[in-house]
Chain A
Amino acid sequence: EVRLVQSGAEVKKPGESLTISCRTFGYTFPDYWITWVRQRPGRGLEWMGRIDPDSSHTDYDPSFEGRVSISAEKSSTTVFLQWSSLQASDSGMYYCARQGQLLVPFDFWGQGSLVTVSS
């Protein structure tokens, strides 16, 4: 069974760093890209970026380039999303999702990680 299990909710102050995780189960980890999606409170879905766990190649949306970093660890079949300096506007729910093969985009999703940034 394919599952993506994300780390728990975080409360941080502006300027702090943060790493959240997405651990994957039930499929061959290097074979599928993993993407991150942000959803601010009451707002829509925003594609942030993705990683190829096999090569660690990443692509980012211009809105997020330089603001976040995506990495992967093959040994634990886990993908990470990292901020070096959080802002209040980073508050929201963050989802990881598996990019399917061929014509299929994001077919399996994590449960979401809630990030709250407040002074």
Chain B
Amino acid sequence: DIQMTQSPSTLSASVGDRVTITCRASQTISTWLAWYQQKPGKAPNLLIYGASTLEGAVPSRFSGSGSGTEFTLTISSLQPEDLATYYCLQYHTLFTFGPGTTVTIK
């Protein structure tokens, strides 16, 4: 089984800050990595797939990078509506979600 870890587990930042979340896989997954945003009480929403491809109408302040075992999600300028929990997902071998990173606004 492929295990996923994320850091930090929580972070608090101010509006306008640059925010970076890291996701690590227990073995290489190439770029079979996606990021999801889940707002309280809602279903998850796909942000990025293929490690760096932005989905549809996702704002350009979100970006993803990485390959192999280490990946990052960056929010270039944090907005109030970005309050959410962010999950990475590996889909190289079936599927495994990371434990999540909760982003709060200072």
Contact = CB atoms under 8 A, between A and B. Distances in A.
Interface of A: 35, 37, 44-47, 50, 59, 61-62, 95, 97, 100, 103-107, 109-112
Contacts, number: 58
Contact of B44 (A50, A100, A104, A109): A109
Interface of B: 1, 32, 34, 36, 38, 43-46, 49-50, 53, 55, 85, 87, 89, 91, 94-100
B53 A103 contact: yes
**Which residue among B38, B44, B96 has the maximum number of chain A CB atoms within 10 Å of its CB?**
B44
Contacts of A105: 34, 46, 49, 89, 91, 95
A106 B35 CA distance: 10
A106 B46 contact: yes
Given A105-B49, A106-B44, 11 more contacts: A37-B97, A44-B87, A44-B100, A45-B36, A47-B89, A47-B94, A95-B43, A97-B44, A105-B89, A109-B44, A110-B43
Given A103-B49, A105-B49, A105-B89, A111 B94 contact: no
A47 B95 CA distance: 6
A44 B95 CA distance: 14
